[in-house]
């Protein structure tokens, strides 16, 4: 397969997407660029592209093994991966286990408060509008997704949450919340796309509750690179271990 095509199809804030010789496959290249607050804060996190690519691939492979369909095909280098070409559904799906971020701010709930059940939220993926929080009715009326598809996104998101909470717990990490995106394949299948990384998850050390994710960049907490490396090292270790016999996730 020709993976060295240089036809740039799309450049986002953290990744570039290139065509390949196979029209059903694209090559994603992760950048070290970091943005926050819808691009208002800009910077670089050295080594982030390589970490996010490899960590995301380990987690996508793990989710795939446990029945979650994903776009992941094959890692081709530290920073690059081949994935199925999909049309991204413009709905960002956020799952929260503990209060933090915009949930804490909007609803006045102290950061770190346990939620009695996992919360799934939908945001309209639209930078010009600042990715506003939407209801199912908004998504249907705006033509972003059908009602049955939203139900599918919600149940996939909860299954992903369950699997990730378990995997991160093996890493001594608390999964506070995360954002995922889904895409439609040419034959209409909905698959997990984009990435799962410290850019898109809030991850705290289970013991100390130290923040080990992009909040260190957003909030100028320092040690940003160290946090990404620490998380990647722990995930690599947890994903290299054979599943324990009889253990259900
Ligand atoms: P929030 O608390 O700012 O709404 O973020 C919820 C989760 O979504 C958090 O884990 C960070 C992630 N996230 C993204 O991946 N991209 C974004 O643009 C935003 C705003 C949040």
- Number of Cβ within 10 Å of residue 30's Cβ equals 24
123 in any annotated domain: yes
d(CA 23, ligand 1 centre) in Å:
31
Percentage above 90 pLDDT, the chain: 94
pLDDT at residue 222, as a whole number = 98
d(CA 65, ligand 1 centre) in Å:
26
Q: Are residues 28 and 151 in the same domain?
A: no
d(CA 198, ligand 1 centre) in Å:
10
Q: Which residue has the tokens 């059908």?
A: 146
For 67-102, write each residue's pLDDT tens digit: 999 999 999 999 999 999 999 999 999 999 999 999
Structure tokens at 131: 């990715």
What total number of domains does the chain contain?
A: 2
For all residues of the chain together, what is the average pLDDT?
Answer: 95
pLDDT at residue 6, as a whole number = 83
235 in any annotated domain: no
Residue 104 CA: which ligand 1 atom is closest?
2
Q: Are residues 95 and 39 in the same domain?
A: no
Q: Are residues 176 and 62 in the same domain?
A: no
Three-state DSSP class for residue 98: strand
Nearest to 152 by CA among 50, 227, 69, 84: 69
For residue 218, the enclosing domain spans 88-223
Cβ of 201 below 6 Å from ligand 1: yes
Distances (CA, A) of 188 to 21, 31, 161, 191: 22, 29, 23, 9
Averaged pLDDT for residues 157-178: 98
Q: Are residues 79 and 98 in the same domain?
A: no
3 in any annotated domain: no
Q: Say how far apart CA 130 and CA 141 lie, in whole Å.
A: 19
70 in any annotated domain: yes
**Residue finishing a domain among 62, 84, 106:** 84
User: ∠ CA 30-181-204 to the nearest 5 degrees?
Assistant: 75
- Number of Cβ within 10 Å of residue 71's Cβ equals 24
For ligand 1, atom 5, name the residue with the nearest CA: 101
Do residues 24 and 81 touch, judged by C-beta distance below 8 A? no
Checking if the pLDDT of 246 tops 90, the result is no
Distances (CA, A) of 82 to 32, 48, 53, 93, 139: 19, 18, 11, 23, 30
């Amino acid at each position: 397969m020709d993976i060295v095509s240089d036809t740039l199809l799309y450049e986002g804030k953290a990744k570039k997407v290139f065509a390949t010789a196979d029209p059903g496959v694209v090559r994603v290249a992760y950048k070290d660029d970091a943005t926050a607050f819808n691009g208002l804060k800009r910077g670089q996190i050295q080594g982030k592209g390589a970490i996010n690519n490899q960590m995301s691939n380990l987690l996508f492979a793990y989710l795939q093994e446990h029945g979650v369909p994903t776009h992941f095909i094959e890692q081709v280098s530290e920073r690059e991966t081949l994935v199925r070409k999909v049309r991204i559904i413009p709905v960002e799906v956020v799952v929260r286990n503990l209060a933090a971020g915009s949930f804490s701010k909007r609803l006045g709930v102290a950061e770190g408060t346990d939620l009695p059940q996992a919360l799934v939220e939908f945001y309209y993926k639209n930078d010009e509008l600042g990715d506003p929080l939407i209801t199912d009715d908004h998504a249907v009326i705006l033509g972003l997704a059908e009602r049955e598809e939203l139900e599918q996104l919600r149940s996939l998101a909860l299954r992903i949450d369950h699997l990730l909470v378990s995997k991160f717990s093996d890493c001594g990490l608390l999964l506070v919340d995360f954002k995922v995106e889904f895409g439609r394949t040419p034959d209409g299948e909905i698959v997990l796309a984009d990435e799962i990384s410290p850019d898109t998850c809030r991850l705290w050390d289970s013991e100390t509750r130290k923040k080990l994710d992009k909040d260190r960049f957003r909030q100028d907490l320092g040690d940003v690179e160290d946090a990404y490396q620490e998380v990647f090292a722990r995930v690599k270790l947890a994903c290299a271990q054979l599943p324990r016999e009889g253990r259900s996730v």
